[in-house]
C-alpha cells in the first residue's frame, strides 16, 4: 500500500463507518484529516503516504520509552502466550506490579488496576464521596481528568466560558455539573474560601499537579503544600491525577519531586509504555473501602482490569526505568529542547514563554507570567498551531492543536533535538511571514 490514492481511500473508508473517521475526539486535526498511521518505531511514526515523522506527540504521552520498545513488547508477548485473561483470582504479575507501585509512589499503600485513566479518576472520586459522605468536588480550569461526567468540563475553554461551567460534552446531568466546583489553578485562597463556605463540605480536590492538558502550568512554590494542608484541615480527599506526570516525571510521580503526598493518586499512560493500563492507589484506609475487599461499599470492577499481558508490559516498563538511565536521558533532552528553544526565540526577537518539566516542553507565543489558564488566553494561537503545521514539511510532528504539549521519549536522540530546533526555526519564520501576509491582505 502506497501513494496518495491509497491514503485517500483509507481515510474515506474510515469516515464511512467511523463517526468522523477516528476513534477519539482529539485525533481529528484540521489539515490532517487524511492522516492514516501505518507503523511506529522508537521516536518515529510513518503514514500511509510513506512519510516518516519524528514524533513529539507520543499518543498524548504513553510511549515514554519510545514506540514498540523491544523489552516491553517481548515481556507482553511472553506473558500473553502463558496466561490469557481469566477473570478469576489474581495472577503473579498483578501482585508484582502492585508491589512495585507501592514501593515507588509515596502516597500509594494499596493499588487497584484499571484499563484507562478515566476509570481511575472515576473510581477515585466515587471513593472520596463515600469516605467523606459529601457530594461536591473541586477541579481546576485547564485540568483534564477523563471523559466521565463529574470531570468532563473546563479544560481548554473559550474566553467567554472561563469562570462558568464549560462541559466538554452534551448529555451530562445538570446536577452532576453543579456538584463540580471549578477554580483557577495556583490560587490556594480560592480553594480555602470554597472549603470554608461550601454547604455540606467538599469530598475531594482533584488536580493534575502540573496541568499538562493545557501545555504546562507549573505549580507556584508552596501551592501543592497548601492544598495538602487545606485538604487535611477540612477532611477533603486530595487526589493527584498523575495520569501524565506519573512515571514520566519520575518513578514516584510528580508527588515525589514536589515532596507532597496526596491521599489518592491516579495513573495511566506511561506506566505501560502505550499498552492500555491505569490505576488508582493511595491510603490503605481509603483503598480498603473498595469492593475488592469483602463487604466494602465502593464498587470496583472491570473485565479487563489487571490484564496479564498489559500488566507484564507495565512491569517491563518500570523495570527498564529502574535499570537504565531513562529519566536522566529524557530530562537532559527536555532541558536541551527548552534551552535551545529559548535561545532561538531570543535570537529571532519573538516573545515567547518556553516551559515544561522533564521530558515535556511547550512554547507559548505570549509574554509571561504563565500561572493559570486565563494567562494562556494571551497565547497567539495562529503562531502556535501554524509553526507546528509547517514543521510537518521537515519531518517533525508536534500536534498542531492549540495548547498541546510535546513529549520526549527514551528513544529520542540528541540529533533529534538538533533537527527539532532547526525545523522549528524555519517553521516559525515561515509562519510569521504567512501571518503578516494574511493580516495585510485582510486590511
Ligand atoms: C491527566 C489525565 N487524567 C486522565 C486522563 C484520562 O485517561 P484515559 O484517556 O486513559 O481515559 C487523561 C487523558 O488524557 C489525562 O491527561
Dump pLDDT digits (tens) for 153-206: 999 999 999 999 999 999 999 999 999 999 999 999 999 999 999 999 999 999
Residue 7: band (very low, low, confident or very high) from pLDDT cuts 50, 70, 90: low
Asked if 39 contacts 45 with a C-beta cutoff of 8 angstroms, the reply is: yes
Asked if residue 358 has pLDDT above 80, the reply is: yes
Going from the Cα of 425 to the center of ligand 1, the distance in angstroms, rounded, reads 31
- Cell numbers 475553554 correspond to 157
Question: Which of these is catalytic: 56, 144, 364, 387?
Answer: 144
pLDDT at 126: 98
Tell me the per-residue pLDDT of 39-84, one tens digit each, with 9 for 90 and over. 999 999 999 999 999 999 999 999 999 999 999 999 999 999 999 9
Asked if residue 3 has pLDDT above 50, the reply is: no
Ligand 1 pocket mutation, candidates 58, 145, 209, criterion most atoms within 8 A of CB: 145
Residue 1: band (very low, low, confident or very high) from pLDDT cuts 50, 70, 90: very low
Q: Relative to the CA of 146, which ligand 1 atom is closest?
A: 6
Asked if residue 267 has pLDDT above 60, the reply is: yes
* pLDDT (average), residues 97-111: 98
Residue partners of 134: CB distance under 8 A and separation at least 6: 200, 201, 202, 203
Residue 425: band (very low, low, confident or very high) from pLDDT cuts 50, 70, 90: very high
Percent of all residues in the chain with a pLDDT value above 70, rounded to a whole number: 98
| Calpha distance 120→113 (Å, rounded) | 8
Going from the Cα of 356 to the center of ligand 1, the distance in angstroms, rounded, reads 18
Chain centre to alpha carbon of residue 412: 19
Residues lining ligand 1, judged by CB closer than 6 Å? 60, 116-118, 121, 144-146, 208, 213, 241, 243-244, 268, 278
Question: Which of these is catalytic: 34, 69, 166, 241?
Answer: 241
pLDDT at 2: 47
Question: Which of these is catalytic: 139, 269, 320, 404?
Answer: 269
Mapped to the 3 state alphabet, what secondary structure does the chain carry?
CCHHHHHHHHHHHHHHHCHHHCCCCCCCCCCCCCCCEEEEEECEEEECCCCEEEECCHHHCCCCCCECCHHHHHHHHHHHHHCCCCCCCCCHHHHHHHHHHHHHCCCCCEEEEECCHHHHHHHHHHHHHHHHCCCEEEEECCCCCCCCCCCCECCCCCHHHCCCCCECCCCCCHHHHHCEEEECCCCHHHHHHHHHHCCCCEEEEEECCCCHHHCCCCCCCCHHHHHHHHHHHHCCEEEEECCCCCCCCCCCHHHHHHCCCCCEEEECHHHHCCCCCEEEEECHHHHCCECCCCCCCECCCCCCCCCHHHHHHHHHHHHHHHHCCHHHHHHHHHHHHHHHHHHHHHHHCCCCEEEEECCEEEEECCCCCCCCHHHHHHCCHHHHHHHHHHHHHHCEECCCCCCCCEECCCCCCHHHHHHHHHHHHHHHHHHHHHHHHHHHHHC
Ligand 1 pocket mutation, candidates 23, 24, 117, criterion most atoms within 8 A of CB: 117
Q: What's the chain's average pLDDT? A: 97
In this prediction the pTM is 0.97
To the query of whether residue 285 is one of the catalytic residues in this protein, the response is no
To the query of whether residue 387 is one of the catalytic residues in this protein, the response is no
Going from the Cα of 9 to the center of ligand 1, the distance in angstroms, rounded, reads 31
* pLDDT (average), residues 361-366: 98
* pLDDT (average), residues 314-331: 98
To the query of whether residue 269 is one of the catalytic residues in this protein, the response is yes
pLDDT at 8: 60
Residue 6: band (very low, low, confident or very high) from pLDDT cuts 50, 70, 90: low
Amino acid at each position: 500500500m502506497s501513494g496518495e490514492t491509497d491514503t485517500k481511500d483509507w481515510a474515506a473508508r474510515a469516515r464511512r463507518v467511523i463517526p468522523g473517521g477516528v476513534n477519539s475526539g482529539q485525533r481529528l486535526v484540521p489539515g490532517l484529516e487524511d492522516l492514516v498511521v501505518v507503523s511506529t518505531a522508537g521516536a518515529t511514526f510513518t503514514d500511509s503516504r510513506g512519510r516518516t515523522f519524528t514524533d513529539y506527540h507520543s499518543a498524548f504521552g504513553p510511549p515514554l520509552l519510545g514506540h514498540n520498545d523491544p523489552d516491553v513488547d517481548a515481556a507482553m508477548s511472553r506473558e500473553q502466550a502463558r496466561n490469557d485473561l481469566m477473570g478469576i483470582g489474581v495472577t503473579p504479575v498483578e501482585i508484582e506490579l502492585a508491589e512495585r507501585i507501592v514501593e515507588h509512589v509515596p502516597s500509594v499503600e494499596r493499588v487497584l488496576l484499571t484499563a484507562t485513566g478515566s476509570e481511575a479518576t472515576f473510581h477515585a472520586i466515587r471513593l472520596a464521596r463515600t469516605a467523606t459522605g459529601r457530594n461536591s468536588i473541586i477541579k481546576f480550569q485547564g485540568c483534564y481528568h477523563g471523559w466521565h461526567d463529574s470531570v468532563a468540563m473546563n479544560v481548554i475553554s473559550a474566553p467567554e466560558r472561563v469562570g462558568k461551567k464549560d462541559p466538554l460534552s452534551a448529555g451530562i446531568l445538570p446536577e452532576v455539573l453543579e456538584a463540580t466546583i471549578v477554580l483557577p489553578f495556583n490560587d490556594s485562597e480560592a480553594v480555602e474560601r470554597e472549603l470554608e463556605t461550601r454547604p455540606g463540605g467538599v469530598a475531594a480536590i482533584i488536580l493534575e499537579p502540573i496541568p499538562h492538558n493545557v501545555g504546562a502550568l507549573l505549580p507556584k512554590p508552596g501551592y501543592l503544600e497548601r492544598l495538602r494542608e487545606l485538604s487535611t484541615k477540612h477532611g477533603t480527599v486530595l487526589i493527584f491525577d498523575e495520569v501524565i506526570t506519573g512515571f514520566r516525571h519520575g518513578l514516584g510521580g510528580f508527588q515525589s519531586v514536589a515532596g507532597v503526598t496526596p491521599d489518592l493518586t491516579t495513573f495511566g499512560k506511561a506506566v505501560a509504555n502505550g499498552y492500555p493500563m491505569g490505576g488508582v492507589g493511595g491510603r490503605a484506609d481509603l483503598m480498603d473501602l473498595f469492593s475488592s475487599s469483602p463487604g466494602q461499599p465502593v464498587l470496583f470492577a472491570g473485565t479487563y482490569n489487571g490484564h496479564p499481558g498489559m500488566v507484564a508490559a507495565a512491569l517491563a516498563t518500570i523495570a527498564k526505568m529502574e535499570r537504565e538511565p531513562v529519566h536522566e536521558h529524557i530530562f537532559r533532552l527536555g532541558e536541551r529542547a527548552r534551552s535551545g528553544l529559548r535561545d532561538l526565540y531570543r535570537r529571532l526577537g519573538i516573545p515567547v514563554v518556553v516551559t515544561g518539566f522533564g521530558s515535556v516542553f511547550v512554547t507559548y507565543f505570549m509574554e509571561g507570567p504563565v500561572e493559570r489558564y486565563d494567562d494562556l488566553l494571551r497565547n497567539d494561537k495562529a503562531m502556535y498551531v501554524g509553526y507546528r503545521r509547517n514543521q510537518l514539511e521537515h519531518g517533525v510532528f508536534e500536534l498542531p492543536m492549540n495548547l498541546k504539549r510535546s513529549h520526549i521519549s527514551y528513544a529520542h536522540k540528541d540529533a533529534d533535538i538538533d533537527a527539532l530546533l532547526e525545523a522549528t526555526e524555519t517553521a516559525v519564520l515561515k509562519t510569521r511571514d504567512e501571518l503578516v501576509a494574511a493580516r495585510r491582505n485582510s486590511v
